[in-house]
Amino acid sequence: MSSLSEQIPMRDFPKLKGEIYEIPSQQRGYKWTPANIKELLRDLWEFMNAPENKRVYCLQPLAVVPLSGKYSVLDGQQRLTTLFLLYKYLTNQNAYTLEFVRDSEDDDNIVNRWSFLTNISSKESIELADSQIDLYYIHRAYQTISDCFETNHDEVFSADKELTTEEIKSKYLELLNGQSAKSIQVIWYEVPENKAHETFRNLNSGKISLTNTELIKALFLNRASGLNEGLRDDAARQFEEMEQIINNDHFWAMLSSEEPIFPHTRMDLLFNLIAKVDDSEADKDFRSSFRWFANEANDNLEAKWQKIRHTFLRLYDMYKNIYTYHYIGYLTYCNQDNRYKFLSFLLKSSREYSKTVFVNRLRERIRRTINPNDKLSISDFEYGQISTMMLRRFFLLHNIETILQKYETLKSSKELNLQHEYEQFPFELLHKQSWDIEHITSQTDSKFDNEQDRKDWLSSVRNDYPSYFEVTEIKDRLTKYDLKKSKENFDELYKAVIMYNDAQDGDHIPEDDKNQVGNLVLLDSHTNRSFHNSLFPRKRRIVVIANGLKSEDDEETNVTQVYIPPCTMQCFTKAYSKKSSTKLNSWLQPDADAYREDIKQKLCDKPESNTIRYFKN
């Protein structure tokens, strides 16, 4: 593995000196304000007076294209110009040459900015400053530097009133010339000439090639970082380990339901948490946490690295615990608030409470997502009477508690001696797949809008129940539909088949009860659409095949394999019905009752054992 200093080279100020930097005509003019200038001078002063282990002051990247004898600047003109002005003030010398392409054009109205910079302290330059907006900003910046040293001494150097102006200037000059143990460095980013236009476009559209994560990585792992070699080697190894784990979809989906859009990265979530950068601030400036880490006033790099490591390990500990993994994953799925706020709550709570209390705090939070006013009961979760979002949460929670309570049962078995969980809900698939609420036994309302779907439905019913088409009413409806394949005629046929199917068993689910929880499951949208209101036997076949049990002689040939939640699978395999008289080819009222009872057992409070869940009944 190549070292990071080779991947992202750093360059100190002495190595910038003597070069020629071309400023392309498309670059915007100089715009630093007096506040920007004072902030830089103050930061440098605090850096110079900080403990010796703080060795590097890192400026933002300088993106350049190597040309013959010079570099074309794609990003970093403002910083280059400011450092030039500071060095010019301290030495009256030019640190490097700035060639402004726009100033070389044949236009008598354009004042050459390089000539202006080289003579910026002259009376002529002072007079020219008001003639052109770029010159005005450049001269104002130079004047601000001069004022800070000459007249506004206390504003920047208030802690050192005993030092003379010359002594202060000498310290800045030692820093710039590389004559002290400390240095100013930029991240030096070279771009091939054939990529220059694309890179400049990306820089100006916010698609910066160097991400916040890459900058922070360079800050810690560069040889000039100030970290001792042993710690730097440990940090490099640990950084790679953390990056691999955070890039694991299973881990990531516990913490976030969204994929970061470039230039944001998954690692930014960790860095932003530590730097207290919320999502809105990161959206405005994706490098916010890098600036926090680069700011020497916010503790030394070794302490910052320990914060990164400890925060990551705390999140990883939540991931490795079956209860916190599932409860946090559920809350992430439901979370409508600022992600930073939610994750900060997790970190704070995990520090302040024992594991048991922390898990109970998560359950309390879950209860508020599914039963906000603590007035809902299981019976209130009826299709069409409560939002689909709430139904998805309800059945997701049932699946999660099923996994957890199954684990508890197996773990308590002395014969099995189970040490670790063997099943987890894959939240990454929850985010990747679209989800519907499916009726297990179909309603009498037909939803077939095209003839091919009607043909497929009739074919599946014929395969499963050929005798149905010998029934007079169904036969008559089919004849009428064959004469005129209208939606109205099919609806009548469909309703006749469903009602006859229900009537074959005295335990069928009444039409008015088909929207209740005992007849509903969580199912991915693709599989749900493939059902086409089929009768139970075909739905069961499709679910089994979609779950991975596929063979060459399957009657259903166009089934896509997807994730089938465990409770959905248990419904279609009739796992909730324990009686020997259970019928596998239909979903009946006793099945719905057994399923509902399991939901109640998993999600409702148990006063007799002081167990608090999500519903009172």
Confidence bin at 21 (pLDDT 50/70/90): very high
Q: Which amino acid is at 202?
A: N
What value does the mean pLDDT of the chain take? 84
Measured between alpha carbons, how far is 494 from 468 in angstroms, rounded to an integer? 12
Residue 336, pLDDT above cutoff 70: no
Q: Provide the 3-class DSSP secondary structure of residue 187.
A: strand
Mean pLDDT, residues 508-522 taken together: 91
Q: How far is CA 449 from CA 199, 286, 444, 488, in A?
A: 50, 48, 15, 10
* Residues of the chain above pLDDT 70, percent: 87
For residue 34, the Cα-to-chain-centroid distance in whole angstroms is 37
Q: What is the pLDDT of residue 601?
A: 93
Mean pLDDT, residues 449-477 taken together: 80
Q: Which residue is it, tokens 């939640």?
A: 565
Mean pLDDT, residues 240-256 taken together: 94
Q: What is the pLDDT of residue 86?
A: 95
pLDDT tens, residue by residue, 34-91: 988 998 898 888 888 877 666 778 787 788 888 889 998 888 888 899 999 999 999 9
Which tokens sit at 364? Answer: 């309390």
Residue 371, pLDDT above cutoff 50: yes
Q: Which of 185-199, 379-393, 561-575 has the lowest mean pLDDT?
A: 185-199
Pure H helices in 412-450: 427-432
Measured between alpha carbons, how far is 21 from 30 in angstroms, rounded to an integer? 15
Q: Provide the 3-class DSSP secondary structure of residue 391.
A: helix
Q: What distance, in Å, lies between the first and last C-alpha atoms of the chain? A: 58
Measured between alpha carbons, how far is 268 from 134 in angstroms, rounded to an integer? 36
Q: Which of 236-240, 293-297, 492-496, 518-522 has the lowest mean pLDDT?
A: 293-297
pLDDT tens, residue by residue, 115-125: 899 999 888 88
Measured between alpha carbons, how far is 64 from 21 in angstroms, rounded to an integer? 9
Residue 418, pLDDT above cutoff 50: yes
Measured between alpha carbons, how far is 335 from 345 in angstroms, rounded to an integer? 12
Q: Which residues, including other chains, have CB under 8 Å from residue 61's CB and lie 6 or more apart?
A: 75, 76, 186, 187, 188, 189, 210, 215
Which tokens sit at 534? Answer: 């089929």
Residues 338/377, Cβ–Cβ less than 8 Å = no
Measured between alpha carbons, how far is 37 from 147 in angstroms, rounded to an integer? 11
Q: What is the pLDDT of residue 404?
A: 94
Residues comprising the chain, all counted: 617
Q: Which residue has the higher pLDDT, 294 or 576?
A: 576
Confidence bin at 3 (pLDDT 50/70/90): very low
